[in-house]
Amino acid sequence: MSHVLTTAAELHDALVSGRYADGGPVRVLDVRWRLDRPDGRPAFVAGHIPGARYADLDTQLAEHGDPRAGRHPLPSPGRLQAAVREWGIDDGDTVVVYDEAGNLSSARAWWVLRDAGMTDVRILDGALPAWTEAGFDLAEGEPGAARPGTAMISPGSMPVLDVETVLAHARDGVLLDARAGERFRGETEPVDPRAGHIPGAVSAPTTANLDETGRFRRPDDLRSRFAALGAEPGTAVGVYCGSGVTAAHAAVALVLAGYDPVLYPGSWSQWSQDPGRPAATGA
């Protein structure tokens, strides 16, 4: 993971030349999604980075079916392969992902594509605001269909926890909960069946990994933050959130800080489905 982030200027230069000097031909994915506004396509049509394709988090970066699997299970290989073809991604491409709010949703695409075996996936640091603040233009409208991509995916490159192993990880290592503190403490639960958190987890809201400009904090700042939460060097660090979306954002921050995080994709939305599973509340 020599490259995780890219700047707006670097992306602009790559789009002008057609490729990254230290990578391959560039493909850009717009992954706008919010819990209160899951369909980001209208915002994409209103204005997006030129050449970008819209990636639907709900239908392309997640699977749907048994609610016991959580709200955003990882996409099946067939679903993701179809999406990669639709996005026009070939083997050897450099894929850049972004959204409009600190990359809280586009990090999901980064994680899913990295897990699928794509070796060069980068996040636009500062997200769409960084692009517009740099003075670069936006394109409007719905682009035509891309030439079908030829990249073949092979999921399983990234380590994961499941519902059977996450509690033991919280006991034997460090398990970070990336949700807002009030949800961790069980003071409110607007989406999932029960309030609270997985016993043994530590509250680590992922928004604290960003600075005031919406960019990721410096690696040494992130290391200090995670060390203060108990993640000393060599510690096994797992992360989860509500449904596995912002947990991917926390995983990016952990990678930047020099950790090898393990993601629990089912997250609280899966854990809380079974009333027989324990739940803790409070700080």
Domain ranges of the chain: 5-133, 166-271
Q: From 30, 37, 35, select the one nearest 11 (Cα to Cα).
A: 30
Phi, psi of 96 (to 5 degrees): -115, 130
Say whether 166-271 and 5-133 share the same fold.
Answer: yes
Query: Tokens 């450099």 label which residue?
Result: 94
Q: Which of 13, 201, 206 is nearest to 107 (CA)?
A: 206
For residue range 78-126, list pLDDT tens digits in order. Answer: 999 999 999 999 999 999 999 999 999 999 999 999 999 999 999 999 9
Contact between residue 233 and residue 207 where contact means Cβ atoms under 8 Å apart: no
Place of tokens 């995780």: 4
Query: What are the tens digits of pLDDT across the range 212-260?
Result: 999 999 999 999 999 999 998 788 899 999 999 999 999 999 999 999 9
Residue 139: per-residue pLDDT: 98
Q: Which fold has domain 5-133?
A: Oxidized Rhodanese; domain 1 (3.40.250)
- Mean pLDDT calculated for residue range 194-203: 98
Query: What pLDDT does residue 281 have?
Result: 97
pLDDT, residue 1, reads: 44
The residue type found at 106 is S
Phi and psi of 48, rounded to 5°? -145, 165
Q: Which two tokens stand for residue 46?
A: 């209103």
* pLDDT at res. 127: 98
pLDDT digits (tens, 9 = 90+) for 85-94: 999 999 999 9
**Using one digit for the tens of pLDDT, what is the confidence trace for 12-31?**
999 999 999 999 999 999 99
Architecture of the domain made up of 166-271: 3-Layer(aba) Sandwich (3.40)
Q: Model confidence at 2, in pLDDT bands (50, 70, 90)? A: low
Is 129 a catalytic site residue? no
Reported as type and span, the H/E element at residue 94 is strand 94-98
Options 241, 245, 250, 251, the catalytic residue: 241
Give the tokens for residue 15. Answer: 């789009």
- Report the C-alpha gap between 185 and 248 in whole angstroms: 21
